[in-house]
Amino acid sequence: MTEKVKVVTLGCEKNLVDSEIMSGLIHGRGFQLVENKEDATVIIVNTCGFIDAAKEESVNTILDMAELKQTANLKALIVSGCLTQRYKKQLMEEMPEIDGIVGTGDFDKINHIVDEALRGKKPVLVGNPVFNYDADLPRLMTTPRYTAYVKIAEGCDNACTFCSIPIMRGNFKSRSMESIVAEVANLAAQGVKEISLIAQDSTNYGTDLYDGFMLPTLLNKVSEVEGIEWVRLHYAYPGFFSDELIAVMASNPKVCKYIDMPLQHSEDSILKRMRRPGRQKDTRELVRKIREAIPDVALRTSLIVGFPGETEQDFENLKQFVRDIQFDRLGVFAYSKEDDTPAARLPDQVPDDVKEYRANAIMEIQREISNLRGGRRIGQEIDVLIERYDGRSDVYIGRSQFDAPEIDGEVFVSNAKLNIGELAKVRITHSYEFDLSGEVIA
């Protein structure tokens, strides 16, 4: 009997790419991929272990899937990803429901792990955490046919004191430019129009393979691939955001005027404790240069509140920083004390209730700002990538180049007959906090 496999993906887009590769390998092996978990004889849970909430979600998902051994057809439960790379021993000792484990650097061995688990051998394969896939590896897309994520590097060298990514994903390692462009060309041939380039630290791309920072060159080469309309950049480390990169983003019409640049905090004392590059004056100057060169740019950032030693004054200053900079999009995390990270050993840990209050307060400020920033789009004519149709309201729903998949706002388009996956020219008429609406320009 052909085994039926379901892959469950938790966490970030980088995990999604890993799951798509595993799905491609499983499909090539002759197994059947299924959507319904009750139909599966094998389930692979690709976990996240970044912060406490993600770890809790991963553990709960594993336990939920394990119940299918009694209630459905499940024969083997495989766990992969960041949680296994970090806690392989604890998982196997404390969760006997798990039948096999594969770490972040060994996804290409997933078929071997499945085979061994089905034989009852409880395989564990957790080696070097760094895995850079090649364009030749099979990949089954799970995103809509018009958009795809492409990893340009793995791991991170920045050693921020709060972050466990280097523990789970290893040191920074770029993919070759040839491999990336080849994969983008293959995706474009399948109908993909939007490419989101992702890495933990995308601005550092190429420094380990080539002579210097190569992200500007990569952006230009990817945008030259026939069929690609939008090239979107994620996770730009502020310390390496060069004038050359700004110039490429300003001048290349296919590079989205969208910058996702996690800053984490505004205050110099906190940034120093976090071991982040530069200081607040550097951030303000960088934002000024970006907006001067790219007036229409959408800036997204993420912040951490409640970091050890963050005083009430630090928090008040952070709120003022958010008001001053006026980010288009902002996400905020309450600091999570992660095992084996330097920040976990720092004094002056902030109580959980204070962290949660501060996170909510920042988001309240940002809601007002996002509404104001969205309002400046009214009257503009922008391209919108159409993603779905809402028959009840008779509107098409899509995104502009200023909004990334899943995490940002949407554009509601009325009075039109459109196709899913097409780019439509839309005049914006209304703004609603994070979302926009408009009409197609004939």
**Other C-beta atoms lying within 10 Å of the C-beta of residue 381:** 10
In three state form, how does the secondary structure of the chain look?
CCCEEEEEECCCHHHHHHHHHHHHHHHHHCCEECCCHHHCCEEEEEECCCCHHHHHHHHHHHHHHHCHHHHCCCCEEEEEEHHHHHHHHHHHHHCCCCCEEECCCCHHHHHHHHHHHHCCCCCEECCCCCCCCCCCCCCCCCCCCCEEEEECEECCCCCCCCCCHHHHHCCCEECCHHHHHHHHHHHHHCCCCEEEEECCCHHHCCCCCCCCCCHHHHHHHHHCCCCCCEEEECCCCHHHCCHHHHHHHHHCCCEEEEEECCCECCCHHHHHHHCCCCCHHHHHHHHHHHHHHCCCCEEEEEEEECCCCCCHHHHHHHHHHHHHHCCCEEEEEECCCCCCCHHHHCCCCCCHHHHHHHHHHHHHHHHHHHHHHHHCCCCCEEEEEEEEEECCCCEEEEEECCCCCCCCCCEEEECCCCCCCCEEEEEEEEEECCEEEEEECC
257 contact partners, CB below 8 Å, separation of at least 6:
249, 294, 296, 297, 298, 401, 402
In this structure, are residues 267 and 318 in contact, taking their beta carbons and an 8 Å threshold? yes
Residue 45 β-bridge partners:
8, 79
Check the annotation: does 256 bind a ligand.
no
In this structure, are residues 88 and 19 in contact, taking their beta carbons and an 8 Å threshold? no
Alpha carbon distance 85, 126 (integer Å): 6
Nearest to 142 by CA among 73, 46, 236, 225: 46
Nearest to 249 by CA among 228, 227, 225, 231: 231
Check the annotation: does 48 bind a ligand.
yes
Alpha carbon distance 163, 274 (integer Å): 9
Check the annotation: does 163 bind a ligand.
yes
Check the annotation: does 156 bind a ligand.
yes
Binding-site annotation: residue ranges: 12, 48, 82, 156, 160, 163
Binding-site annotation: residue ranges for [4Fe-4S] cluster: 12, 48, 82, 156, 160, 163
